[in-house]
């Protein structure tokens, strides 16, 4: 039991099946994500989409359960953050994967119902509390689905945990996680 899991995940299991990161949050991948997300460099989007697709396809060979996903669910932004940024980076990076695998992007399946302090501004131990109760999932959209939750960066996993919990409570049959980078 726990083969391939870190000690923290063995001690406190996550609410998802499989979590896959396409790379480490460093070097070129980190530069692309930051430019895309915070500088509005939309020209970086295609390379990030291709990275996510390649990571999914590579991981599918090791984790065939990923290939059972029947929908993609991007981590939502709070409406104010979406308005200021102009786009949800998690939704945008999922577009190529959705097109190639013919999977719907269910952006309405999960919503951010509470505005929170950006996770990157908080210490590791503050993140889970900050994000608790920030998401709501729609049972009429998720019930019985094998959902692939998509985000750009996983640091502590607190945001993804809260999303996956809400999705499972709404009746998702299975939730797996796919991120561009792991910090």
The count of domains in the chain is 1
pLDDT score at 13: 72
In a domain, 78, yes or no: yes
Q: Has residue 76 been placed in a domain?
A: yes
Residue 5 lies in a domain: no
> Quick check: is 8 in a domain?
no
Residue 6 domain-assigned? no
Q: Is residue 96 part of a domain?
A: yes
Q: Looking at residue 152, what is its pLDDT?
A: 96
pLDDT tens for the chain, 183 residues long, are 233 445 555 566 788 999 999 999 999 999 999 999 999 899 999 999 999 999 999 999 899 999 999 999 999 999 998 998 999 999 999 999 999 999 999 999 999 998 887 777 778 778 877 789 889 999 999 999 999 999 999 998 999 999 999 999 999 999 999 999 999
In a domain, 72, yes or no: yes
Give the per-residue pLDDT at 11.
60
DSSP string, the chain: --TT--HHHHHS--SSS-EEEEEESSHHHHHHHHHHHHS--GGGHHHHHHHHHHHHHHHHHH-GGGGG--EEEEPPPPHHHHHHHSS-HHHHHHHHHHHHHT--B-TTSEEE-S----GGGS-HHHHHHHHTT-EEE-HHHHTT-EEEEEEEEESSSHHHHHHHHHHHHTT-SEEEEEEEEE-
CATH number of domain containing 34: 3.40.50
d(CA 147, CA 178): 10
Classify residue 1: in a domain, yes or no: no
**pLDDT of 3:** 38
For 62, the domain range is: 15-182
């Amino acid at each position: 039991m726990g083969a391939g899991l870190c000690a923290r995940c063995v001690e406190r299991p996550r609410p998802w099946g499989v979590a896959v990161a396409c790379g480490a949050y460093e070097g070129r991948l980190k530069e692309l994500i930051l430019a895309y997300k915070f500088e509005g460099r939309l020209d970086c989007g295609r390379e990030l989409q291709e990275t996510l697709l390649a990571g999914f396809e590579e991981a599918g060979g090791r984790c065939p359960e990923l290939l059972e996903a029947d929908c993609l669910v991007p981590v939502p932004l709070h409406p104010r953050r979406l308005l200021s940024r102009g786009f949800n980076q998690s939704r945008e990076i999922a577009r190529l994967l959705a097109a190639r695998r013919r999977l719907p992007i269910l952006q309405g399946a999960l919503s951010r119902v509470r505005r929170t302090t950006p996770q990157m501004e908080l210490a590791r131990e503050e993140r889970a509390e900050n994000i608790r109760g920030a998401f709501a999932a729609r049972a009429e959209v998720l019930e019985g689905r094998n959902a692939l939750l998509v985000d750009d960066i996983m640091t502590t996993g607190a945001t993804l945990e809260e999303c996956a919990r809400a999705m499972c409570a709404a009746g998702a049959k299975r939730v797996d996680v796919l991120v561009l980078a792991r910090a």
